[in-house]
């Protein structure tokens, strides 16, 4: 078998693995849906706990119970204290929800099945990306199709790494799998490009450094954006409860199982702040590569401009958080605007503008 035939077979294997991963992601999506549905039928899902109104009374009862236990000679067994997220002095104290399963054992089982299927889909998709790389004998992100399949693989990998680190992020599973299916559907339907060599300008080790960093940054920024979106809904829910309102049954069933709004806000800030230096490095690496390939570090190419706009947007978000004390909804809106710039830099610039990055094509 000659080299061309071997590469063609590898490209075919890559396609099979990508489609197979989509099938497994679909099963994971259904399992996540089952987890949320079963959780809504649990005791937690049926009872709208007064997260804000009863927090003060609950704290008083716990303190009284502790004093009573001490007075009786310490024979009572005290429950482990629960961690409560506090935004600031005089801010509402809200406990994290139990998760999508809502405390239901069967719901939790479906949730663990969903994570297991996500792991299997991730490994299958990663195999597809690797096969694509072997078929073209280069980094598997030379065009929009390859970038898309690699991006979704890395996003899922980051999510699974957070789970492995015992972070409370399983609630991200449903929106993540949904987005991955959408991303892969667009990739195989509209963005697919046959395996082909790179143009001379891309034959550089900077392809591995610059683009891989940009993909990883995008995956982490995506998780931050999801957290910001969920935060906005959860914050509205908590605000309505604090004002004595009664949210609808559907909103109550979903929102009460999520982490507290303050913790969602903190998670989004931490992941955005952690990855911002890498995004800065990605832009600098791109400028160095441009200097090697085109003889200039900056040329106002649309892709360069929007990469810088994205950097400025996230810099404004982090600066506002650090100096102006912006937290909550204002910060979330600013972070979502910044992530929208990232998405436009990928889809909008590639389709609407020309420039030296047009070789990436579809």
What is the pTM for the complete model shown? 0.84
Q: How high is the pLDDT of residue 356? A: 62
Structure confidence at residue 81 (pLDDT): 36
Identify the residue with better confidence: 223 or 3: 223
User: Where do runs of H (alpha helix) occur along 91-143?
Assistant: 105-136
Look-up of token digits 């931050």: 224
On average, the pLDDT of the chain sits at 84
251 or 65, which is more confident?
Answer: 251
The pLDDT of residue 327 is 80
**pLDDT of 357:** 62
The kind and range of the H/E element at 94 are strand 93-94
CB 154 within 8 A of CB 219: yes
Q: Is the pLDDT of residue 65 over 70?
A: no
Task: Give percent helix, percent strand, percent coil of the chain, each to the nearest 5.
Answer: 75, 0, 25
Among 67-71, 89-93, 238-242, 341-345, the minimum mean pLDDT is found in 67-71
C-alpha distances out from residue 275 to 48, 61, 131, 269, Å: 37, 42, 28, 10
pLDDT single digits (tens) 228-282 = 999 999 999 999 999 988 888 888 889 999 999 999 999 999 999 999 999 999 9
> What band does 101 get if pLDDT is binned at 50, 70 and 90?
very high
Structure tokens at 316: 């404004």
Classify residue 205 as exposed, middle or buried by CB count within 10 Å of its CB (0-12, 13-18, 19+): exposed
Which pLDDT does position 346 carry in this prediction? 86
CA-wise closest residue to 125 among 23, 40, 266, 260: 23
Residue 73 DSSP label = T
């Amino acid at each position: 078998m000659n080299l061309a035939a071997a590469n063609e077979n590898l490209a075919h294997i890559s396609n099979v693995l990508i489609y197979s991963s989509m099938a497994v992601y679909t099963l994971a999506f259904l399992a996540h849906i089952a987890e949320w549905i079963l959780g809504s039928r649990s005791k937690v899902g049926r009872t709208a706990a007064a997260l804000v109104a009863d927090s003060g009374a609950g704290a008083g009862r716990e303190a009284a119970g502790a004093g009573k236990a001490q007075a009786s000679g310490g024979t009572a067994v005290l429950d482990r204290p629960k961690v409560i997220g506090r935004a600031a002095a005089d801010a509402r104290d809200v406990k994290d929800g139990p998760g999508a399963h809502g405390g239901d054992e069967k719901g939790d089982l479906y949730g663990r099945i969903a994570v297991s299927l996500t792991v299997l889909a991730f490994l299958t998709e990663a195999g597809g990306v690797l096969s694509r790389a072997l078929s073209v004998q280069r980094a598997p992100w030379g065009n929009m199709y390859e970038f898309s399949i690699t991006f979704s693989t890395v996003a899922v990998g980051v999510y699974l790494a957070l789970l492995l680190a015992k972070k409370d992020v399983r609630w991200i599973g449903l929106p993540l799998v949904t987005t991955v299916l959408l991303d892969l559907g667009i990739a195989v339907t509209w963005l697919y490009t046959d395996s082909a060599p790179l143009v001379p300008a891309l034959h550089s080790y900077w392809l591995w450094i610059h683009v891989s960093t940009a993909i990883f940054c995008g995956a982490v920024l995506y998780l931050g954006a999801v957290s910001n979106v969920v935060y906005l809904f959860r914050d509205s829910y908590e605000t309505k409860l604090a004002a004595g309102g009664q949210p609808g049954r559907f909103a109550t069933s979903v929102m009460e199982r999520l982490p507290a709004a303050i913790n969602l806000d903190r998670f989004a800030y931490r992941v955005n702040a952690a990855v911002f230096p890498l995004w800065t490095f990605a832009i600098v690496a791109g400028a160095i590569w441009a200097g090697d390939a085109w003889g200039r570090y900056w040329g106002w190419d649309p892709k360069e401009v929007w990469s810088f706009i994205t950097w400025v947007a996230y810099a404004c978000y982090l600066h506002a958080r650090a100096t102006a004390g912006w937290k909550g909804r204002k910060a979330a809106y600013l972070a979502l605007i910044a992530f929208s710039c990232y998405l436009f830099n990928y889809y909008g610039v590639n389709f609407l503008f020309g420039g030296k990055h047009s070789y990436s094509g579809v």
